[in-house]
Amino acid sequence: MKAKSIFGRSSKEIIEKLTDVINTEFNSTLAIVFMSDKNLVDSISEILDKENISIFGVTVCRGFTDEAMDSNLNSILLLEINPSYFKIAYETYEPDKLEKAANKIALTGLDFFSNPAYFVSASHVNSPIDGILNGITSVAGNDAIIIGGISSDDDLVKGGLVFTNNKKGADAVLSLIIDSDSIDLTGYAVSGWKPMGTAKTITKSEGNRVFTIDNQPALDVIMKYTGIEVNLDDIADVYTQIGTVYPFQVQKEAGIPIMNPPLLLNKDDHSVICGMNIPEGSQIKFSFPPDFEVLESVVKHAENIKLHVFPEAEAMIIFSCIGRYNAFGPLVNQEIEGLQKVWDVPMAGFFSFGEFGKPPGGKSDVHGTTCSWVALKEK
């Protein structure tokens, strides 16, 4: 497998770079495309279609590559890989049918490969994203490898698009399914946020909407323990001020807690909507505000993997929560640069609205305020 990354801040720049790569001896068969400019989706897809290059495409608020990490960046990772080693699956869904769409994607993987690994994205955050995880694992098994990030937008409520060859949608799930018998891949989903205080109980919830914590209105409890007053007239202010700094840590019977930040508020009943479901009875802890150890922990895990498990890679993909960008600002680039330097290979990634990946010592799961990365190498 060979890889090349390109980036551009304008249509002209990215089309010129893409054309230059296509005209070389590098024979790309797969393009992983993270577009900050939705208006470029059709023109870039048209170029790739003409070259018979398969597309795993996501619109994003901020993309990055191994060479550039600023905002408004359109990034593409081109891979020269045997087409029999991967399959693209695209499924549209209605708001309450996300899990069924993921079922179909899982079946597609099993139809083509004995041991499929699923890179996934979806276009909207209105449905709890654990529907994707549950839909895949209910078909492919709890040990299924699932990595990815939800399409992002500067407007938290809107969400973005996912797209592939001749298809794009605002209510769709997209998966790049890899034959893990032919492609080695390893990665971790690491948050680094430290827990604060004693556990509290979700006493009333429906799906990803939390009404009460310890029998008190959820938003009131959140503001009390964080000391922050949110603007009740801005439904996303609970995420902007609290979710990106003090995310919920949903406790698990075994393994690392799952980060699940509150995203939206309801001023009438003081409930909050999270990115993933939180069943009644769940135990949660708040998080301390992040420090630089949060960024360092992600890189240290990668360095350990390279030293003991995966010494060489040919490409890398990173899905990092937009909450990490909001919490650290441009300093989060230290984390991205640190990860890329571990293997020093072509890389592309973006800041997402929710992540998929395997935490250290666990199985693939859904996450928030987390950095999920994967390194790849052809066997």
Identify the DSSP state of 96: T
Sorted by sequence, the CB contacts under 8 Å of residue 190 that are 6+ apart come out as 297, 298, 301, 359, 360, 370, 371, 372
pLDDT band at 95 (very low <50, low <70, confident <90, very high): confident
**Measured in whole angstroms, how far is the alpha carbon of residue 110 from the centre of its chain?**
23
pLDDT band at 259 (very low <50, low <70, confident <90, very high): very high
- Rounded CA-CA distance 138/99 in Å is 9
pLDDT band at 25 (very low <50, low <70, confident <90, very high): confident
What are 276-320's pLDDT values in tens digits? 899 999 999 999 988 889 999 999 999 999 999 999 999 999 999
**Measured in whole angstroms, how far is the alpha carbon of residue 336 from the centre of its chain?**
14
What secondary structure, in 3-state letters, does 63-83 show?
EEECCCCCCCCEEEEEEECCH
Residue 157 confidence (pLDDT): 59
Whether the per-residue pLDDT at 121 is higher than 90: the answer is yes
What are 197-238's pLDDT values in tens digits? 899 999 999 999 999 999 999 999 999 999 999 999 999 999
Residue 100 confidence (pLDDT): 96
Token match 């430290």: residue?
194
**Measured in whole angstroms, how far is the alpha carbon of residue 209 from the centre of its chain?**
21
Strand-by-strand arrangement of the 315-321 sheet: 63-65, 347-352, 315-321, 371-378, 183-190
Say if pTM beats, i.e. exceeds, 0.85. yes
Q: For a pLDDT cut of 90, what percent of the chain falls above it?
A: 76
Choose among 304, 81, 88, 345: nearest CA to 187: 304
Domain boundaries, the chain: 2-190+293-378, 203-287
Least-confidence region, from 69-73, 100-104, 242-246, 314-318: 69-73
Whether the per-residue pLDDT at 104 is higher than 90: the answer is yes
- Rounded CA-CA distance 201/67 in Å is 45
Q: Are 30 and 1 in contact (CB under 8 A)?
A: no
Q: For a pLDDT cut of 70, what percent of the chain falls above it?
A: 97
Whether the per-residue pLDDT at 10 is higher than 90: the answer is no
Q: Phi and psi for 341 in degrees, rounded to 5?
A: -70, -20
Higher pLDDT pick, 192 / 158 = 192
